[in-house]
């Protein structure tokens, strides 16, 4: 069986870490990334870590002809892992059509190629955002999808449902939907990591950018929630653990171990941690004090969510190897490393234009 995997969004945060994990586990990878929200510097990092040249197609998946040409040029692909998508919650609220167009059109084109070229296995990047504000935590894969909190969240819900329908109609296809919780941290080498566009919205890059002085102070969005210290609860999952879940998901599909041709897995640490606990973990691990203040709640924030990850552990044999201290120390190492990178390698193209 071919071990050739096509990864869309290979220059992205989770995509680049997954390329490394796939290569380390014997897969041959092909990346597709138009670098609309990422940089080629990330693939160079992957090459340094793995010692392998990465074949990348700088193609916009919304262009069907160019997407199809990649599949035509690369016969016998064993599986597709589809990361490429926009993911900024706030931007999606302001520009929903941009999100509907980019995230859905690209997914449809990828599925059209999967069907035409008879690709047997498909792994999709989904998110715990599909649970909305859950009635009970931790959430299991059976927890119902609730009203999406943003157009971005809606694209993940629609994506899941489109793949479910597609798999129902294509019995030869095997698909897995991986619902990520809060990915954070960086590869231990600090050669790849998260590169936010403009001012970061996610907690971990806000923490590291505050620590390094790019951001003057961190605002904790609310300390009056009904949680143990009043701040929101999240499930922080190290990006390398998350990356490895993709390799295991693909192994599972290729080995034909699945019961159903479209299965769902939560990929989270299984532990809830508050925003204030994350801040304190960063300070304790790095010895760097953070300048932070308590501010108002952020509209649209879920109060508390974390994963029941029993299914991924039992069925995929996956288990997180990194804790919050590894997350914070690796994210900090990465933040310090990118200070010294040449500008063209670490600034997303959007800023360069
Ligand atoms: C959101 C999405 C998630 C998506 C992720 C990555 C929802 C409900 N969640 O996660 O699906 O995968 O973004 O883009 O759509 N915080 C602060 N101060 C800050 C930044 C964050 O206090 O400066 C707090 C937030 O209020 C929240 C926690 O930190 O409680 C995590 O926030 P964030 O990193 O933005 O991720 P989510 O909103 O959980």
For residue 252, being part of any structural domain is answered with: yes
Atom of ligand 1 nearest to the CA of 88: 14
61-81: string of b/e by CB count within 10 Å (b at 16+)? Answer: bbeeebbeebbeeeeebbbbb
Q: Is residue 310 part of a domain?
A: yes
> For the chain, how many structural domains are there in total?
1
263-296 residue pLDDT tens = 999 999 999 999 999 999 999 999 999 999 999 9
Verdict on whether the full-model pTM lies above 0.85? yes
- pLDDT category at 343 given cuts 50, 70, 90 is low
Pocket lining: 179 vs ligand 1, CB cutoff 6 Å: no
For residue 236 the two structure tokens come to: 């922080």
CATH of the domain at 192: 3.40.50.720
Instruction: Please check the confidence at residue 70 and state whether its pLDDT lies above 80.
Output: yes
- List CB contacts of 190: < 8 A, sequence separation 6 or more: 330, 333, 334, 336, 337
Tokens of 183: 């990915």
Please check whether residue 307 lies inside any domain of the structure.
yes
To test the pocket of ligand 1, the residue of 125, 209, 234, 279 to mutate (highest count of ligand atoms within 8 Å of its CB) is 234
Task: For ligand 1, say whether the CB of 203 is within 6 Å of any of its atoms.
Answer: yes
Residue nearest to atom 20 of ligand 1 (CA): 203
Q: Identify the pLDDT of residue 131.
A: 95
> Domain span at residue 69?
4-338
- State pLDDT tens for residues 8-42: 999 999 999 999 999 999 999 999 999 999 998 99
> Residue 346 falls within a domain, yes or no?
no
Query: Per this entry, what is the length of the chain?
Result: 353
Q: Looking at the domain assignment, is residue 202 inside a domain?
A: yes
Distance CA 35, CA 51 (A): 22
The answer, yes or no, to whether any atom of ligand 1 lies below 6 A from the CB of 297, is no
Ligand 1 nearest atom to the CA of residue 275, by list position = 29
Shortest-distance Cα residue to atom 18 of ligand 1: 220
Q: Is 331 in the pocket of ligand 1 (CB under 6 A)?
A: no
> Distance from the CA of 142 to the center of ligand 1, in angstroms?
23
- 34 lies in some domain: yes
Active-site annotation holds for 180: no
C-alpha 258/C-alpha 174 separation (Å) is 8
Q: Which of 124, 301, 302 has the most ligand 1 atoms within 8 A of CB, as the residue to mutate?
A: 301
41 part of a folded domain? yes
The answer to the question of residue 178 being in a domain is yes
Q: Which of 152, 180, 225, 306 is catalytic?
A: 152
What are 110-162's pLDDT values in tens digits?
Answer: 999 999 999 999 999 999 999 998 999 999 999 999 989 899 999 999 999 99
Rounded CA-CA distance 237/202 in Å is 13
* Closest protein CA for atom 7 of ligand 1: 129
Between the alpha carbon of residue 63 and those of residues 8, 105, 117, 201, the distances in Å are 14, 9, 17, 29
Distance of alpha carbon 48 from alpha carbon 291, whole angstroms: 35
For residue 299, the model assigns a pLDDT of 84
């Amino acid at each position: 069986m071919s071990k050739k995997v096509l990864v869309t969004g290979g220059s992205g945060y989770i995509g680049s870490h997954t390329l490394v994990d796939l290569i380390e586990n014997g897969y041959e990878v092909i990346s597709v990334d138009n670098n609309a929200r990422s940089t080629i510097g990330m693939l160079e990092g992957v090459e340094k870590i793995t010692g392998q040249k990465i074949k990348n197609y700088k193609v916009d998946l919304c262009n069907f002809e160019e997407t199809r040409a990649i599949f035509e040029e690369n016969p016998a692909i064993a599986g597709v892992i589809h990361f490429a998508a926009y993911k900024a919650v706030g931007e999606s609220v302001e520009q929903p059509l941009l999100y509907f167009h980019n995230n859905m059109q690209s997914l449809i084109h990828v599925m059209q190629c999967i069907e035409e070229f008879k690709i047997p296995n498909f792994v999709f990047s989904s998110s715990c955002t599909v649970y909305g504000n859950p009635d009970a935590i931790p959430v299991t894969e059976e927890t119902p999808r609730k009203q999406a909190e943003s157009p971005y969240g809606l694209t993940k819900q629609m994506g899941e449902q489109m793949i479910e329908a597609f798999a129902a109609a294509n019995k030869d296809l095997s698909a897995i939907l991986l619902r990520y919780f809060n990915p954070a941290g960086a590869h231990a080498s600090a050669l790849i990591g998260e590169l936010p566009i403009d001012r970061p919205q996610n907690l971990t890059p806000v923490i590291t950018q505050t620590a390094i002085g790019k951001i003057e102070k961190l605002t904790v969005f609310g300390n009056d929630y009904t949680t143990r210290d009043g701040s929101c609860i999240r499930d922080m999952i190290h990006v390398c653990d998350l990356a490895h879940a993709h390799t295991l998901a693909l192994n599972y599909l290729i080995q034909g171990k699945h019961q159903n041709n479209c299965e769902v897995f939560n990929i989270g640490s299984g532990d809830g941690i508050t925003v204030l606990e994350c801040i304190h973990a960063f300070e304790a691990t790095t010895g760097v004090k953070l300048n932070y203040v308590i501010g108002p709640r952020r509209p649209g924030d879920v109060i508390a969510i974390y994963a029941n990850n029993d299914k991924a552990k039992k069925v995929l044999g996956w288990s997180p190897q990194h804790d919050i201290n590894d997350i914070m120390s690796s994210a900090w190492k990465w933040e310090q490393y990118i200070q010294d990178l040449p500008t063209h390698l670490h600034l997303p193209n959007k800023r360069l234009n």
